[in-house]
Amino acid sequence: MPPTVHYLIDRDGTIFQQLPDTVFARHVIGLNHCAIGVENVGGGKDPLTKAQLKANEQLIRYLNRKYPIEFVIGHNEYRKFEQHELWKEKDEGYRTSKTDPGVSFMKKVRHQIRDLELAGPPN
């Protein structure tokens, strides 16, 4: 099966680019047309690592230099965009429950990139 996310971050912090940034990928319902997807290996019984936190920070900083990034969100936050102008999902019944990367990890990521002044999901 082909990759469905642009970047994969391994537990040791290695960043693998699986797709060009400009290729449409299916990784976040409703926002695929405008999002660059990042997956972290682990979660649940294998909590994400400090190396992954650092890699996420580095990747976001790199992408922010290349593109006009406005939002940084976790999969667990995607449904907060359902009433936002960026939301483009046509199938009203197509939703999944996401828990990754989690509230705590996203709080840490946002703390590390706070100087970039990027928004989280809409309230």
Quick check: 43 and 101 in contact, CB under 8 A? Answer: yes
pLDDT at 3: 67
Q: Which two tokens stand for residue 94?
A: 């197509």
The reply to whether 1 falls in a domain is no
pLDDT at 99: 87
Burial (Cβ within 10 Å: 0-12, 13-18, ≥19) of residue 74: buried
The reply to whether 99 falls in a domain is yes
What digits encode the pLDDT tens for the residues 101-119? 999 999 999 999 999 999 9
The reply to whether 121 falls in a domain is no
Range of the domain at 105: 7-116
Q: Over pLDDT 70: what percentage of the chain? A: 98
The reply to whether 123 falls in a domain is no
What digits encode the pLDDT tens for the residues 73-105? 999 999 999 999 999 998 989 999 888 899 999
Mean pLDDT over residues 32-46, rounded? Answer: 93
Quick check: 44 and 96 in contact, CB under 8 A? Answer: no
